[in-house]
Amino acid sequence: MRTRPNYAGGLAGLVWLAVVLVPVYYVVVTSLRSQRGFYDANPLSPPVDATLDAYGDVLASHFWRYFLNSVVVTAATVAIAVTVSLMAAYYVVRGTSWFSRLTYRGFLLGLAIPLQATIIPVYYLITRAKLYDTLLAIILPSVAFAIPLSVVILANFLRDVPNELFESMRVDGAGDWRMLFSLVLPMTRPAVVTVAVYDGLNVWNGFLFPLILTQSSDQRVLPLALWSFQGQFRVNIPAVLAAVVLSTLPVLALYVLGRRQLVSGLTAGFGK
């Protein structure tokens, strides 16, 4: 359609590409250096004698324990958040009462508030419930904070399911639960994947709740572990950056698998 190339856009695109890639490249090459090499080499040169020593240091520092904690917290949060959000989305789309409209508006409003401002009362609740310094303490508020956007995206998607499908199932005598599992879930699968990936990313990378709601190294999750590695390894920068790489690998795998879903789903969710 257009014949003249867009030089300004292309140039800006390449500059930003460098801005994105230089730090990423720096993290990866530095993580492959020896501690000596880190002080001697040009920071952006390829490592001459690449070594996995830094990764060894990280793996020897209870990395797997933190990794496992992150997996538990992320899996539990995503499973609960997606399930209850799908149920709520079904209710706000199919419900006809004033309360279902109010519910939807409530979740919309939830998007507009910087919920991080509620950390002090959340801390109060968790300590009084004797849940402080447990993984459950991270999971519960993480679910709550994931719900508004999840419901809004799922509801937007669910509105496009033709009414006749619901009606014909209703005629067959299907209750809400059968409707949810045999119709809503299959029809909204792409949106469910989007929401799961997005919520999963947020929880996996979440820092604030683990920081204020856990304390011991037994309950430490990865983002917090990165922060404490900084203090522990101090001048061993390659090890700190190797931990960064290791903590990102699972997300990278997920991204490669679910990129299309994430991108298209998010666009649809915010596009309305």
Partner 1 sequence: MALPALAFFGVFAVLPLGGVAVLSLMAWDGIGDPAWAGLDNWALALADPATYRAIWLSIQVMVLSWLVQTPISLLLGVLIARPGRFRALLGVLYFLPMLLSAAAIAIAFKALLDPNFGMSRAFGLDFLSQDWLGDPTLALYVVVFVIAWQFVPFHTLLYQGGVRQIPASLYEAAQLDGAGPVRQFFHITLPQLRYTIITSSTLMTVGSLTYFDLVFVLTGGGPGDATRLLPLDMYLTGFSGNDMGRASTLAVLLVAAGLALSLGLSRLSSFSRGSQLEGA
**According to CB under 8 A, which residues from 127 to 186 bind partner 1?**
140-141, 143-145, 147-148, 151, 176, 180
Residue 91 is which amino acid? Y
Nearest distance from C-beta of residue 202 to partner 1, angstroms: 10
The region of 52-60, 156-164, 166-174, 260-268 touching partner 1 under the rule CB under 8 A is: 260-268
Judged by CB under 8 A, the residue of 16, 168, 170, 181 near partner 1 is 16
Residue 268 is given by DSSP the state: H
- 52 near partner 1, judged by CB under 8 A: no
Chain positions 55 to 74 lying near partner 1, rule: CB under 8 A, are none
Please, which residue, 159 or 259, has the CB nearer to partner 1?
Answer: 259
Contact status: 77 vs partner 1 (CB under 8 A): no
Part of the chain binding partner 1 (CB under 8 A), chosen from 15-23, 59-67, 162-170, 185-193? 15-23
Contact assessment for residue 84 and residue 147, using Cβ atoms and an 8 Å cutoff = yes
Q: Quote the tokens at residue 203.
A: 């929880």
Minimum CB distance to partner 1, residue 255 (Å): 5
**CB of residue 60 to partner 1, shortest distance in Å:** 19
Binding mask 223-242 for partner 1 (x = CB under 8 A): xx-xx--x------x--xx-
How many residues interact with partner 1 (rule CB under 8 A)?
A: 96
- From candidates 116, 168, 182, 215, binder to partner 1 by CB under 8 A: 116
- Contact between 34 and partner 1 per CB under 8 A: no
Return the number of other C-beta atoms located less than 10 Å from residue 238's C-beta.
26
Amino acid residing at 17 = L
In the chain, alpha helices (H): 7-31, 35-40, 53-59, 63-94, 98-112, 119-128, 135-158, 163-171, 176-179, 185-187, 189-204, 208-213, 222-233, 237-270
- In order of 26, 36, 76, 119, 211, the CA distances from 109 in angstroms are 40, 53, 25, 18, 26
> Is residue 110 within the footprint of partner 1 (CB under 8 A)?
yes
Q: How far is the CB of 211 from partner 1 (least distance, A)?
A: 8
How near is the Cβ of 246 to partner 1 at its closest, in Å?
Answer: 10
Query: What's the rounded Cα separation, in Å, for the pair 108 and 174?
Result: 30
Q: Which lies closer to partner 1 via its Cβ, residue 109 or residue 165?
A: 109
Measured CA to CA in angstroms, residue 101 lies from 92, 93, 96, 177, 204 at distances of: 6, 9, 8, 21, 32
CA dihedral 250, 17, 32, 70 (to 10 degrees): -20
- Going by C-alpha positions, the residue among 51, 215, 211, 22 that lies closest to residue 122 is 211
* 87-106 footprint of partner 1 as x/- string (CB under 8 A): xx-xxx--x----x--x--x
Q: Is 205 in the site for partner 1 (CB under 8 A)?
A: yes
